[in-house]
Structure 1
Amino acid sequence: MQLEIFQVDAFSTEPFGGNPAAVVPLQSWLPDAVLQRIAEENNLSETAYFVPNGQSYDLRWFTPAVEVDLCGHATLASAYVLFEQLGEQAQVLRFNTRSGELRVSRGADGLLAMDFPAKQPQALDAPAGLLQALGLSQAAAVYRSDDYVVVVDDAALLDPLKPDFAALSAFDVRGIAVTAAGRGFDFVTRWFGPRVGVNEDPVTGSAHTSLAPLWAERLGKTALTCEQGGARKGQLHCEVPGNGRVIISGRAALYLRGSIFI
């Protein structure tokens, strides 16, 4: 069997930036075990698969270890492949996913805008051992949604972080985001997900369904500029219109187009 594969750097204007994702278009679903093995072989934080379904597409995402409920950067990468590589003419793509229908539209300026459900993180006391595992002595606040969200007062604390990934994997959440205001953006973030097989994700679009509402409330803004990453970074624009949705926008760049032989 021969399958087409694309590797796209999402949330970047050029290759080697943002967050790489593999995208594999399918005409019908392969067995789940095969989808997981391909994702493991790709060894990227996410491999996305889509299958045409009428006027929409069914979309699924796999890390090297598990299938996940929502992935922003691989959704952006999938939309980029459809719009820019496969000749999709629609202005708005509709994806059927585990997280409901997701829509991605393309603007005249080249931005791809993803319409995702918003999540409001809930404040809580820092779980025992969390800050130590991150290498932090203190935090301004800690919240929980799909992830633990750790807010720190100084953006300069983010780049030097060297978490204990084995310790972080013991926490029963998808991942851990460490975030702060500043550094030329409304907020900046690093995201760690050893529990789902991704020690660090350069840009996690889905995490911004929680981060954007949190920072919109903290900063009193509905439109936010954002950057995520450690050594490798990407940029996003988020809008929180107050209707239970978050609009997450970014650009993408093609790195690779080839074939899988299985």
Structure 2
Amino acid sequence: MSTSPCPRPGEPEAGGPVAGPRPPVSLSPSRASDFMRCPLLYRFRVIDKLPEKPSEAATRGTLVHAVLERLFDAPAAERTPPRARELLPGQWARLLEERPELAELFADDPAGEKLARWLAEAEGLVERWFTLEDPTRLEPAERELFVETELESGLRLRGVIDRVDVAPTGEVRIVDYKTGKAPRPEYRDGALFQMTFYALVVWRLKNVIPRRLQLVYLGSGEVLTYDPVEADLRRVERRLLALWEAIAHATATGDWRPRPTKLCGWCDHQERCPEFGGTPPVYPLPVVPPPRSG
């Protein structure tokens, strides 16, 4: 069991680089959501490790997260909108250095107009955060925290928490920044899945149930909170165990079926998806034959 700082972007699925495909060994909120959304998408990302093109929206989110993380390096009184705006160019340069492929997003923008608009949108999201939280009154215990634990079942859970606040009384608040808009009430259970996942990991690591889970939606200027109880975390644990069993079965049999939804239009893998007339790559892992009948 461990906790340590982890840089953006992405939630690691396994520790360190690995040569060649192998069965999944852990579960993160993102990959769990992938499997629930479409098992074939999970396979493409976790087992085949197919490359995906960077998107403006996801990269903007990464940039905004980086600015909000670095803002807390400054003394409380200096955590102001002008200071946050000053951080944007440097953090964008750092991202480009770490991930040169991001330059492809603005390859057709010789005059820099598209990039300027994109940076202005990121700046607007950062400035909206100041209307939702006051960073001069916050002293996070952790930022961009990589957490990992192994359940009694052997299932390893891991992920990256945007911010952890700890009150003087010891109460824990888990905070996640979202650059999109808050979901409608009927879809909030899905939005809270990631947060209850993190709460479960913290509970198993520290034997402390977080007092509050907080989603900060910069796109719509809303804050969604939820106060979990032990029954909630036991419920999500059972759900994750069932999900892991389904993943193990698909891994062993090679049966990764696509699940078409409205989100398919944004998928990078349509040319390999049977739903769109494509053919997946040859399955790279051994397949367990079904038992003989009779």
TM-score normalised by the shorter chain: which range applies?
A: under 0.3
Higher strand content, 1 or 2: 1
RCO greater where, 1 or 2, for CA within 8 Å and sep 6 or more? Answer: 1
Higher helix content, 1 or 2: 2
TM-score by length of 2: 0.23
* Structure with the greater alpha carbon radius of gyration: 2
TM-score by length of 1: 0.25
